Structures are given as C-alpha cells and as structure tokens.
Amino acid sequence: MNGLIDWALVHKRTMTLLFLLLLTSGLSAWLSIPKEAEPDITIPYIYVSISHPGISPEDAERMLVRPMENELKAIQGIREMTANAGQGHASVTLEFVAGFDPDKALADVRDKVNLAKAKLPDETREPTVHPIT
C-alpha cells in the first residue's frame, strides 16, 4: 500500500491526468443518463368542501362526511380518500391513480356530489368541488 502511495506522489502529472479523466467521464455520464426530475404524469387531486354553519365536528362527520364518502367511494380510479370534519365544515380530498383522466375524474366527482346533496341536511350550503393541480 505504501508503494502505491509513493508512486502516486512521485508521478503527480499522471495522477492529475487520471483525476481529470475520471472527473470528465463522470460528468459526461451524468449528463447523458436520461432522467426526469419532473415527469409528465398528472395525478389528479380533487377537493370537495361542504359547509354547514353551526354544526359540531361529530355531527359534521355523521351528517356530511359519511353520505359524501358513501357516494364518492363508487368512483373508479380513486387511490386514496381523506375526509376531515370540523366546526361548521367538512371536506373530502380524493387522490386518483397516476395517469387517470383529470377531466373524467372531475366530472365523476361532480356527479356523485350532486347525488349526495339529497342526503345532506337542508341547511347545508352548496358543496364545492375544486381540482388541485
């Protein structure tokens, strides 16, 4: 091992040339390898907001979230559904599988929200559907 170190110290120009060759090769490989930092895959997220003034979080879950979830779970292509209930408000966030048509997803969600509206209390405001991009 000491012999290799001694040789490297004696042949400084050769070591510098090898270092530059290695550095150039690495840079060339890094530039030529195909990579995508931001792929062209759209993952549609859709946010459904339901407002009902004065409703408690427990009632919001029971009277707003559950009927909405029951309708929305029938939609094809949903990867994950997350619901939140709070004072006077409830929301459902839908994540669809990668590559799913965002326009179809939005239309399906709007259709199901319209069906679920009939099961919501009378004082509930119009649910809103927002695509998240």
Sequence spans of domains, the chain: 2-32, 45-132
Residue 4 pLDDT grade (very low, low, confident, very high; cuts 50, 70, 90): confident
Question: For the domain 45-132, what is the CATH code?
Answer: 3.30.70.1430
Helix (H, G, I), strand (E, B) or coil at 118: coil
Report whether 84 contacts 38 (CB < 8 A). Answer: no
| Confidence band for 39, pLDDT divided at 50, 70 and 90 | low
Q: Note the pLDDT tens digit of each residue in 61-118.
A: 999 999 999 999 999 999 999 999 999 999 999 999 988 888 999 999 999 999 999 9
Q: Specify whether the CB–CB gap between 101 and 55 falls below 8 A.
A: no
Predicted TM-score (pTM) of the model is 0.68
Q: Is 94 exposed, middle or buried (0-12, 13-18, 19+ CB in 10 A)?
A: buried
77 contact partners, CB below 8 Å, separation of at least 6:
96, 97, 100, 105
